[in-house]
Chain A
Amino acid sequence: MAEQPGFLQHHFSDVRQQQETAKLGMWIFLLTEILLFGGLFAFYTFYRAWHPEMFYNAHEHLNVVIGTANTLVLIASSVTVALAINAIQHGRRKQTMLFLATTITLAGVFLVLKGIEYAEHFRLGQYPGKFYSYTGVEGTNPHIFFSVYYTMTGLHGIHVLVGMCVLSWMLYRTWRNHFSAEYYTPIELTGLYWHLVDIIWIFLFPLLYLVG
């Protein structure tokens, strides 16, 4: 018993069991996230089938350039978070911190770009639901498209924000020397979460910006 490392919790028999359990828990959590967004994708499908032309007309008002840039930013951040995990697996603490910081910065860039997009929509009066006042979209009830758009990208944005907080916490813990080549599960799980946030965007981007 005396040789057990400090990070091993009392109810696990060995490190491997603890690590596998944590990973399983995270995968189940990611499953619930997919179902949470799955509800929104179902709403999207339903209303797109109901108002196909309006959806097409409305989607042309989204900024494909910023959307594409944001897609690249998020994919890059997925790479950096994977590099951070790889670095800590080899015990390279400084490199881990560098990659985590890059990931956080990229997430910040994503949110700023998204904010610029939102500001432009608001300027034109493309608000959600009953506040909608824009007249440039042909078809019935164009506000529905923007309601769906804001809900989906908004919820995704909240996830990016949460991701930034968790990544910052990981950065802090790495700086405080909590992790090593033997113990890095929290960073790995954060990475899993971050990949999911990216994957959701990779579905949102074509559905909203490209095919409408």
Chain B
Amino acid sequence: MSAESISVQTEDPKVNYLNVKHGIKSWLLTMDHKRIAILYLWAIMVMFLFGGVLAMLMRLELLGPGADFMKARTYNELFTLHGAIMIFMFIIPSVPAILGNFALPLEIGARDVAFPRLNLASWYLYMTGSILAVWAILHGSVDTGWTFYTPYSTKTSGAVILMVFAIFILGFSSIFTGLNFIATIHKLRAPGMTWYKMPLFVWGLYATAIIQVLATPVLGITLVLLILERAFGIGIFDPSMGGDPVLFQHFFWFYSHPAVYIMILPGMGIISELVATFSHRKIFGYKAIAFSSVAIAFLSFGVWGHHMFVSGQSQYATMIFSFLTFLVAIPSGIKMFNWVSTMYKGAITFETPMLFTLSFFFTFAIGGLTGIFLGATAVDVHVTDTYFVVAHFHYVMMGGTIMAFFGGIYYWWPKIWGRMYNEIWGKMSAMLIFLGFNLTFFPMFIMGSQGMPRRYFTYPAKYQIYHVMSTVGSWVLALGLVIMAVVLIYAIKWGPKAGKNPWGALTLEWMIDSPPPPHNFEKVPKVEYGPYDHDKILVKPDKVGVGV
């Protein structure tokens, strides 16, 4: 972009990144991080809808014991597709690729991410991988579960190779996003934006990017070996040929356990922003929160063995992995206590993003604490492969990351589109999602502790009461999600105009117009105060729909 075109665009204050250019080509070839964020937004939300519908179908099948309306193989394909979509195509990219892409350069006062072309390329990789993966399952009926455990994944019929290749491509999309973010954070901060003046969302993304870059290549090579195993029978995962199937599990979890921190860390970053903004108080323990993110990132590499307590690893390994797993609880606990301390004596207001934040505290606390149960070897052996694990995982992922993601979506929505959503309906959706979520997943803890195994399409009649509760909960949850979708989409077109700063937040993205101008900052900002200095600076939130 030449210097002249920048000055032309910024002369007219009404020009923003949404209306600066029109047409499908201006979107598909865009290098603007904000537009790429929106490309990701639609693509990822379509995948979320798809994965959600599959979950609803599974819950419907589980309403009664026995085969109701699908065969066992169909059910196996459904949970494979649900898991793969939600993990690889929804949660992993959700926060970094949508909200990170949009907010990261704005929050550090940069005009774009470090490598805009790579950013667009990673979106195309995402699209290619997603389409291939969905096609592989729908057409090639993969039923391995999202973990692709050998030897089943090398023996079963179905398009496993295509599916695994798709995940390999998605991995590169994730690596490139992480690489871009690390370079952006290191090199593109505005003058005065020191490391300790960075918003905590940026710290969260930084820790995430470290894991994306360090762990994902290992998944890549594991998947390549799985493809070779299936295509050429190289035998390294096949015990009859001198190979070791447990080795696959080690390599798979060496990525996939850190991957759950790829999912949760950016969510924790969002929560840090929201809790300070809506408590109108300086964040408590900034450095503790920032470094606990980095600590989680590093500890995450030492805990993969806790997925394999019953897979036949040595007892010493199990003891060490159990101990390291308990260690991860410390930085997570540090964060929780700091967030709660931030709220203490704050002037808390309960807008929709704050409701999601409070939901996060509640559900993530349950998810995190049950994680400690599972890290204890004796308990884990009892509940391995039961609904207890399913419930724990969904409390951390859906109750943690997705609650934070939804809160973040509501929070940045006025900045993204320049329009405000309807607060009453927004709150309604938040409450329905919270209720529906707990009703869906809490019964799973109970039936899991009583021995209900996961991944079965049928069950003994004594579990039916819990399954019925769970299925009804999934309807409430779905209703909440539909309302949320309507509220947000309605706001894009018909919402009242939002000012620069509808929340009274202090981070840089709220100092510029909504929606932001094409190059974010007309002049590179000079940062003089911290992102949460609510004790020093009083910002009045802009009145929505007035004077803009």
Residues of A near any B CB (own CB < 8 A): 1-2, 4, 6, 9-13, 17, 20-22, 24-25, 28-29, 31-33, 35-40, 42-43, 46-47, 50-51, 128-131, 140-141, 143-144, 147-148, 150-151, 155
Q: Does the CB pair B236–A147 fall under 8 Å?
A: yes
Contact of A143 among B112, B180, B241 (CB under 8 A): B241
Contact flags B169-183 to A (C-beta < 8 A → 1, else 0):
000000100011011
Q: Does the CB pair B183–A39 fall under 8 Å?
A: no
Q: Does the CB pair A130–B235 fall under 8 Å?
A: yes
Q: Does the CB pair B241–A129 fall under 8 Å?
A: yes
Q: Does the CB pair A32–B247 fall under 8 Å?
A: no
Task: Give the distance in Å from the alpha carbon of A29 to the alpha carbon of B176 in the complex.
Answer: 8
Q: Does the CB pair A32–B175 fall under 8 Å?
A: yes
Q: Does the CB pair A47–B186 fall under 8 Å?
A: no
* B243 sits at the interface (CB 8 A): yes
7 A-B contacts (beta carbon < 8 Å): A11-B110, A11-B188, A21-B188, A25-B115, A25-B179, A40-B221, A144-B242
Chain B residue nearest to A8 (CB atoms) is B3
Residues of B near any A CB (own CB < 8 A): 1-3, 6-7, 105, 110-116, 118, 175, 179-180, 182-183, 186-188, 213-218, 220-222, 224-225, 228-229, 232-236, 241-244, 247, 251, 519, 524
Contacts of B218 in A (CB 8 A): 35-36, 38-39
Given contacts A25-B114, A28-B213, A130-B241, contact A143 B183 (CB under 8 A): no
Q: Does the CB pair A129–B234 fall under 8 Å?
A: yes
Contacts of A2 in B (CB 8 A): 3
What secondary structure prevails in chain B residues at the interface with A?
A: helix
Chain B residue nearest to A2 (CB atoms) is B3
Q: Does the CB pair A129–B213 fall under 8 Å?
A: no
B184 to chain A, nearest CB (A): 8
Contacts A39-B220, A148-B236 aside, 4 further interface pairs with beta carbons under 8 A come to: A31-B214, A43-B247, A143-B234, A150-B234
B21 to chain A, nearest CB (A): 15
B74 to chain A, nearest CB (A): 31
A159 to chain B, nearest CB (A): 13
Task: Give the distance in Å from the alpha carbon of A83 to the alpha carbon of B186 in the complex.
Answer: 30
Q: Does the CB pair A39–B241 fall under 8 Å?
A: no
Q: Does the CB pair B228–A151 fall under 8 Å?
A: yes
Chain A residue nearest to B178 (CB atoms) is A28
B302 to chain A, nearest CB (A): 15
Given contacts A11-B112, A24-B187, A51-B242, contact A4 B3 (CB under 8 A): yes
Chain A residue nearest to B212 (CB atoms) is A32
Task: Give the distance in Å from the alpha carbon of A31 to the alpha carbon of B210 in the complex.
Answer: 11
Q: Does the CB pair A131–B242 fall under 8 Å?
A: no
Contacts of A39 in B (CB 8 A): 217-218, 220-222, 225, 251
Q: Does the CB pair B179–A128 fall under 8 Å?
A: no
Chain A residue nearest to B190 (CB atoms) is A13
Contacts of A50 in B (CB 8 A): 242, 244
Chain B residue nearest to A130 (CB atoms) is B233
Q: Does the CB pair A144–B243 fall under 8 Å?
A: yes
Task: Give the distance in Å from the alpha carbon of A129 to the alpha carbon of B227 in the complex.
Answer: 13
Q: Does the CB pair B247–A46 fall under 8 Å?
A: yes
Q: Does the CB pair B6–A144 fall under 8 Å?
A: no
Contacts of A148 in B (CB 8 A): 236
Task: Give the distance in Å from the alpha carbon of A29 to the alpha carbon of B218 in the complex.
Answer: 13
